[in-house]
Amino acid sequence: MSTFWIILTACLAASACSLVGSFLVLRKQAMLGDAISHAVLPGIAIAFLLTASRNTFPMLIGAGAFGLLTVYLTEKLQLRGRLMNDASMGIVFTTLFAIGVIIITLFASQVDLDQECILYGEIAYVPWDLWIFNGMNMGPRPVWILGFVLMLNIIFIVSCYKELKIYAFDRQLAISMGVPVMLIHYGLMGSVSFSTIAAFESVGAILVVALIVVPPATAYLLTERLSRMLMLSVVFGILSSISGYYLALWTNSSIAGAIAVMTGVFFGLALFFSPLDGIFFRKYRGARKELNELSLESGKPVAEYPQV
Amino acid sequence: MSELFTDFFLLQDPNVRWVLAGTILLGLSAGALGCFAVLRERALVGDAVAHAVLPGVCLAFIITGDKDPFMLLIGSVVFGWISLIVMDYIVRNSKISSDTSIGMVLSVFFGLGVVMLTYIQSSGNVNQSGLDAFLFGNAASMLPEDVMLFGFVSLMVLVVIILMFKELKLVSFDPAYAKVIGYPLKRMEFLIATLLVVTITAGLQAVGVVLMASMLIIPAAAARYWTDSLRVMLVVAAIVGGVSAISGSFASYAAPSMPTGPLMVVSAAFLFTLSFFFAPARGETRKWLKRRGQKEKVKRENILKTLYNLEESDGNETKVRTLQEILKRRRMVKKMLKSGLASLDKTGLVEHFTGRPDGYVLTDAGRNEAKRIVRLHRLWELYLTEKLEIAGDHVHDDAESMEHVITPEIEAELLRILKNPEADPHDKKIPKHTINGNR
């Protein structure tokens, strides 16, 4: 039974994260997931200190506030401080994370959180983190929280699908068509914050980043339709969760880490064997001298690659 | 606390000496190198590399079964390199953008590292305790041989940056030109990447995987507010890095349970905030003062101009002008008018007559200054109508703002182009330059 709960938690986290992550990947803001998942730490720690309990609701509020604060500070620093987006993001989230770690260390006796569990979570303990409602055992608490956040995300995406789509692909067009871009932007950032926080508590910061970025990127390689990309990213998130769980069981290691590894494995497969644009097929077709009509990869500036 | 303080800074404990030397070197080299990463918009690549070396550390440990610092260094340099290559490969060979690729490499490599770390921990090898210091860093737990190795590596990085400053600068900011004049571009890129990987690796034990990136980013970003020169920026960033290293390792010495990394980061962030607000070259305060000074100047000049206009309309240079008169001529907030007049009085441009009526008169110096502003205003109006053929009733507003910014050189050029004109488009006299008139 505990296996079921762990896998269900991972799958819910994966679905919630990859749905919003898809938009971050399309908006080229993937690192925002990383930033938010680190920066919410002081919020969680402060909520913990103030309420002296692991009550979820204050934690969600504290973390949500710091998530939005990260987005806000990053944008402010970029505009006022004349810094590049990545540099301002790097400053904001590392500082907030450091403050969070310091708070936790200072109040180690009161705060029952340790740094490693923040990084790679305690998904293995999920089955024992039960929600008792009116004396009735409702099953693990994280399952409920993640399920709720997933539902919120689905409602947000379905109700604003058209607006999100235009916003994701062409912000200027969205503005000119009268889409309330700021509303959509902060709505999306709010969803990212909530998904991050809900998932963070059970699966840890790094797995959150993996779930936000990798399954959507994998799906992005396999389709050119947003609706299919969303569905495929959820599918890959779930597949990674299940296979990651058994990988961890087999190697007797961290479940969250193993799930992150599996998302990477699926991405690698898609990168090489995607029928659309995979490296393997491109080589094969190149041999048949059909590359010209199939070079879909153009349209991306050549200079944009990470060197040091 | 003060006892700890003196103990620490008198360097009586040899271990403290080592740790301090090591972290300072690390802070210096990371700060200096970070300037290249930040200015080339690759700040977060360092974050990904820092996370991605974790599997290298673990693999080295699994193979050797020991925490030999040199082997751990080799393992992490290798994985740092692999991560850079993978990031680059994904972006080149697919439609994935660079930020996504950075995020993927960061999380998947780190996930792999965590899997290996937990595998090692569960395998029951007694040597493994302390490997998790790599996550958050703990300078106090570093052994002298660790410090020696990583300090030496940081020193080497610093030496390379100093010796090859010119080449690094050229390749970083104008690769096309560097290529044309025959620099080995590939090899230089390789060198920069290696410097980055090595610096990150050296910093891991002190700062930890999660926060290493900030030691690259924050000092460089702070230094940016102090200067526009890369050379100075490198020095300032190195100093910021070094100072944060000292405070971080002091705190870690005073309270061994406190992780060093977060304390270093918070000190660096504090220095960043100071720079952001108070750096003399590009800080917020400076910007604010500059804007305020400009506003004051415009206000004073407008008051002088108004007084001159009043004199012009009745030809009386000795009549005392009351506040009401001035306000009737030019609408402004009364408090601002008063403060402006007070400052003009202090600098000797107007004279305050108390009594009846209570008011102000331009001094000779003030009149000359006012003439200069009116001259600029009317010259500009004339220029717009004559040369740009803008209708006479459309030029006033533009001249209102230009009169405050036209330099003496532009003024001379306008006079030359317009051939020392007598009157503006509204047939108002353009006041002439008087001897000693232009303050």
| pLDDT: which is higher, A81 or B125 | A81
Count of all residues that appear for chain B in the document: 439
Residue numbers of the domain that contains A13: 2-294
A306 domain-assigned: no
Q: How far is B88 from chain A (nearest CA, A)?
A: 6
User: Both B224 and B320 in a single domain?
Assistant: no
Q: Of A61, A59, A18, A46, which is closest to residue A190 (Cα–Cα)?
A: A61
A304 domain-assigned: no
A272 domain-assigned: yes
Q: What is residue B285's predicted lDDT score, i.e. its pLDDT?
A: 85
A182 domain-assigned: yes
Answer whether residue A307 shows pLDDT above 70. Answer: no
CATH code at position B337: 1.10.10.10
Answer whether residue A296 shows pLDDT above 60. Answer: no
B149 domain-assigned: yes
User: Both B201 and B310 in a single domain?
Assistant: no
| pLDDT: which is higher, B5 or A188 | A188
Which of B249, B280, B311 terminates a domain? The answer is B280
Say yes or no for a CB contact (<8 Å) between A87 and B258.
no
User: Both B102 and B230 in a single domain?
Assistant: yes
Least confident of A19-28, A134-143, B143-152, B279-288: A134-143
ipTM of the complex: 0.86
Which residues of chain B make contact with A17, given a CB cutoff of 8 A?
Answer: none
User: Both B245 and B318 in a single domain?
Assistant: no
A308 domain-assigned: no
The whole-angstrom separation of Cα A282 and Cα A191 is 37
Answer whether residue A153 shows pLDDT above 80. Answer: yes
B409 domain-assigned: no
- Return the percent helix, strand and coil in chain B, to nearest 5: 75, 5, 25
Q: What is residue B389's predicted lDDT score, i.e. its pLDDT?
A: 85
Say yes or no for a CB contact (<8 Å) between B110 and A91.
no
Cis peptide before B55 (omega within 30 of 0): no
Q: Which residues pair with A130 in a beta bridge?
A: A140
Nearest Cβ partner for A30 among B41, B103, B118: B103
Q: What is the pLDDT along chain B (439 residues), one digit of tens a residue?
A: 566 666 666 666 777 777 788 888 888 999 999 998 888 888 889 889 999 998 998 898 888 877 777 888 889 899 999 999 999 899 988 889 889 999 999 999 999 998 888 888 887 666 666 676 677 677 667 777 778 888 888 889 999 999 989 888 888 888 888 888 888 888 888 888 888 898 888 888 778 887 888 889 999 999 999 988 999 999 999 999 999 988 887 877 777 777 778 888 999 999 999 999 988 878 888 888 888 988 888 888 888 888 888 888 888 888 888 888 888 888 888 888 888 888 888 888 888 888 777 888 888 888 888 888 888 888 898 898 888 888 888 888 888 888 888 888 888 888 888 888 888 888 888 887 765 444 4
Q: What's at A26, amino acid-wise?
A: L
| pLDDT: which is higher, A141 or A227 | A227
User: Both B271 and B301 in a single domain?
Assistant: no
Say yes or no for a CB contact (<8 Å) between A251 and B189.
no
Least confident of A8-22, A143-157, B276-290: B276-290
CB burial readout B16-37, b (16+ within 10 A) else e = bebbbbbbbbbbbbbbbbbbbb
**A98 within 8 A of B210, measured Cβ to Cβ:** no
Sequence-ordered list of residues with C-beta below 8 angstroms from that of B16, at least 6 positions apart, any chain: B7, B8, B253
Which residues of chain B make contact with A298, given a CB cutoff of 8 A?
Answer: none
Q: pLDDT for A205-236, tens place per residue? A: 778 889 999 999 999 999 989 999 999 999 99
B373 domain-assigned: no
**A221 within 8 A of A278, measured Cβ to Cβ:** yes
B382 domain-assigned: no
Which residues of chain A make contact with B197, given a CB cutoff of 8 A?
Answer: 308
User: Both B195 and B97 in a single domain?
Assistant: yes
Say yes or no for a CB contact (<8 Å) between B95 and A277.
yes
Say yes or no for a CB contact (<8 Å) between B95 and A253.
no
User: Both B136 and B276 in a single domain?
Assistant: yes
Nearest Cβ partner for B111 among A90, A252, A260: A260
The total domain count for chain A is 1
CATH code at position A144: 1.10.3470.10
Which residues of chain B make contact with A307, given a CB cutoff of 8 A?
Answer: 42, 45, 84, 88, 189, 192-193
DSSP annotation of A141 = H
Which of B362, B380, B409 terminates a domain? The answer is B362
User: Both B273 and B291 in a single domain?
Assistant: no
Which residues of chain A make contact with B258, given a CB cutoff of 8 A?
Answer: 102, 105-106
Say yes or no for a CB contact (<8 Å) between B115 and A30.
no
A106 domain-assigned: yes
B377 domain-assigned: no
DSSP annotation of A288 = T
Say yes or no for a CB contact (<8 Å) between B42 and A308.
yes
B408 domain-assigned: no
State whether residue B63 is helix, strand or coil: helix
Q: What is residue A295's predicted lDDT score, i.e. its pLDDT?
A: 47
Which of B362, B386, B404 terminates a domain? The answer is B362
B300 domain-assigned: yes
Residue numbers of the domain that contains B331: 286-362
DSSP string, B268-295: HHHHHHHHHHH-TTT-HHHHHHHHHHHH
The whole-angstrom separation of Cα B110 and Cα B80 is 11
Q: What is residue B438's predicted lDDT score, i.e. its pLDDT?
A: 44
The whole-angstrom separation of Cα B87 and Cα B81 is 10
B220 domain-assigned: yes
Nearest Cβ partner for A91 among B103, B192, B221: B221
User: Both B273 and B304 in a single domain?
Assistant: no
The total domain count for chain B is 2
**Token pair of B363 as six digits:** 């001094």
User: Both B230 and B326 in a single domain?
Assistant: no
Say yes or no for a CB contact (<8 Å) between A260 and B104.
no
Percent residues over pLDDT 70 in chain A: 83
**A116 within 8 A of B132, measured Cβ to Cβ:** yes
A59 domain-assigned: yes
Nearest Cβ partner for A90 among B197, B214, B282: B214
User: Both B105 and B229 in a single domain?
Assistant: yes
Taking the alpha carbons at both ends of chain B, their separation in whole angstroms is 59
Nearest Cβ partner for B119 among A33, A251, A271: A251
User: Both B112 and B137 in a single domain?
Assistant: yes
CATH code at position B84: 1.10.3470.10
